Amino acid sequence: MMSTGVDARIVIIGCGISGIVAAHRLVKAGFNHVRILEATGRSGGRIKTGKFGDNIIEIGANWIHGPSEENPVFCLARQYGLLSADALTPENQAMDIGGHPPWIPNVFTSSGRKVSLEDVYPAVEMFKDLLDESTEFEKKGGEPWPSVGQFIRAEVLQRSADKWKANNARSLKRCMITTMLKVECCVSGPPSLDDLGLGANGLYKTTLGLDCTFPGGYEGLVRNLMSELPAGVVSYNQPIRCIHWNISDKRDAHVKVECDDGYLKRHHTSLFCPPLPLHKLHSIQRLGFGTNNKIFVEFDSPWWDEDCEVIYLVWEDEDTMVDQVQDLPGSWIKKLFGFTVLKPTERFGHVLCGWIAGHESIYMETLSEQKVLHAITQLVRRFTGNPIITPRRVLRSQWFHDPWTCGSYSYPARGCSLQDLENLMEPLPPNRSSTQPLQVLFAGEATHPCYFSTVHGALLTGWREADRLLAHYAAVRPAQPTKSKL
């Protein structure tokens, strides 16, 4: 590599996993002037491990999705010795779950009864089949409906009329479909599945492996990577006001990073000077960015089965299959689809993690922790029929009101296409000749064409942009120093 490469000045904005691995790769390749500017006082971004009593919990990223050889997060976690023995078995890595783990469920209804799986299993199977079918339109090139939600509702109405004859049974199953719509909002990220583009939904790809967690916390991955970077490479509490690019002056500077504010989707109009090219601006606007929050709840004793891994809550007045509430102050809690059970019990005790997405999730963030605890208490009492159950405590995430995230992760909204994801990853200046210096590069989960919304997608984009710089400086003649945003 030419000396001008290793002497290039590279500024990485954000010390999330993309920025960390990009810096890691560039430093290992011999680049001498790599600096990460991080708006907050911590590394990791949306990887955030916390404490709930004596328990380690994940406030942000939760699982390694598809832990197998194809997944770089799994490979790094294995290399650093961060995973349990179960996650490392060949059988675990070979499982093809299609993005939906085969959890053992309990199902409770709003009339306070625990229903048998046989009563709702046909609805769950129909929903999964339709979800799979919804991913096929991207290849076919035609969309009978603009969104996944509209497609599923239309198909359920048509298919259930023939399959589910009894009115009471049909109503319960359609209410179960509503719960599954809420589940998928938490998985994919949109406020409603009516916001998730039908054709674009097929862009997402999964890797083999049964989703696993980090026994010691996801931040262990961040700590290991950061330990291999030189001291002082990160400047914390350095938010960005503006990125000035395409500068031509006598000092031959091409990019100037002005510190003080910003997050790309919300602040792109003020974050770049000159503004981003129009096609990139339009793609940022078309890509969705949703909010999915967790509510951790601890109980003195379990009200769910010993082998239960997920609890579904089914409201018996929701057979219209609408996955949003109209009255946020009065009904926000109805968007919470249920809970996952933190395992093993010997480690966590009796702790559940509630999941809630969308506008209801954003509203939940504005409430006091005491009001959230009260809402959860009333909810559990209603669905179990037990009027004296009282949670010990709750802890919730608040990703929307975090000024440096403004939500949880991206999703392909209605009207979004692969071209938009390709536009997002395009470096600046656009239509650049091979001899022009790179100025601004883009990484992060939202810029991956098929692993968006995941940690491994974010990690791969950090490597992608580091490799772009390595290839650039290996190919060009001696050039001026450059600063790049990753």
Q: Which CATH number is 433's domain given?
A: 3.50.50.60
**What is the arithmetic mean of pLDDT over 242-250?**
76
Q: Cα Rg for the chain, rounded, in angstroms? A: 24
Place of tokens 């920025």: 19
Based on the fold, state whether residues 346 and 367 are members of the same structural domain.
yes
Based on the fold, state whether residues 363 and 301 are members of the same structural domain.
yes
Reported as type and span, the H/E element at residue 295 is strand 292-298
Reported as type and span, the H/E element at residue 152 is helix 148-163
Residue 28, in any domain of the structure: yes
**If pLDDT is split at 50, 70 and 90, which confidence band does 142 have?**
confident
50 - beta bridge partners? Answer: 57
**If pLDDT is split at 50, 70 and 90, which confidence band does 479 have?**
very low
Domain end (from 342, 362, 396): 396
The model carries a pTM of 0.92
Least confident of 153-157, 236-240, 257-261, 308-312: 257-261
How many distinct structural domains can be found in the chain? 2
- Contact by Cβ (8 Å): 465, 73: no
Based on the fold, state whether residues 336 and 471 are members of the same structural domain.
no
Residue 434, in any domain of the structure: yes
Q: Residue 251: which domain range?
A: 3-45+215-288+413-475
Based on the fold, state whether residues 120 and 195 are members of the same structural domain.
yes
Based on the fold, state whether residues 383 and 282 are members of the same structural domain.
no
pLDDT of residue 140: 80
Digit-coded pLDDT (tens) for 145-189: 999 999 999 999 999 988 887 777 899 999 999 999 999 999 999
Q: In this structure, what CATH number is given to the domain that contains residue 347?
A: 3.90.660.10
Mean pLDDT of the chain: 92
**What is the arithmetic mean of pLDDT over 410-437?**
88
Based on the fold, state whether residues 244 and 387 are members of the same structural domain.
no
Based on the fold, state whether residues 389 and 441 are members of the same structural domain.
no
Q: How far is CA 32 from CA 3, 26, 466, in A?
A: 10, 9, 14
Alpha carbon distance 325, 315 (integer Å): 12
Residue 91, in any domain of the structure: no
240 - beta bridge partners? Answer: 259
Digit-coded pLDDT (tens) for 265-283: 666 667 898 999 999 999 9
Residue 468, in any domain of the structure: yes
Domain end (from 369, 396, 423): 396
Q: How far is CA 188 from CA 57, 112, 367, 475, in A?
A: 21, 29, 24, 39
Residue 56, in any domain of the structure: no
Alpha carbon distance 425, 18 (integer Å): 13
Q: Is 233 in a helix, a strand, or coil?
A: coil
**If pLDDT is split at 50, 70 and 90, which confidence band does 99 have?**
confident
Residue 266, in any domain of the structure: yes
Based on the fold, state whether residues 282 and 324 are members of the same structural domain.
no
Alpha carbon distance 352, 372 (integer Å): 14
Q: Taking each helix axis as running N to C, give the angle between helix 117-134 and helix 167-188, from 0 to 180 degrees, rounded to the nearest 10.
A: 50
Residue 84, in any domain of the structure: no
Region of residue 415 (left: phi > 0; alpha: psi -120 to 50; beta: else): left
pLDDT of residue 414: 95
Based on the fold, state whether residues 382 and 426 are members of the same structural domain.
no
pLDDT of residue 434: 64
**What is the arithmetic mean of pLDDT over 427-431?**
88
Alpha carbon distance 334, 439 (integer Å): 47
Based on the fold, state whether residues 368 and 315 are members of the same structural domain.
yes
- Contact by Cβ (8 Å): 67, 210: yes
pLDDT of residue 484 exceeding 80: no
Alpha carbon distance 208, 74 (integer Å): 11
Based on the fold, state whether residues 273 and 296 are members of the same structural domain.
no
**What is the arithmetic mean of pLDDT over 360-380?**
98
Residue 304, in any domain of the structure: yes
According to DSSP H, which parts of 165-317 are helical?
167-188, 219-227, 264-271, 278-286
Sheet holding 240-245, edge to edge: 255-259, 240-245, 272-273
Based on the fold, state whether residues 197 and 328 are members of the same structural domain.
yes
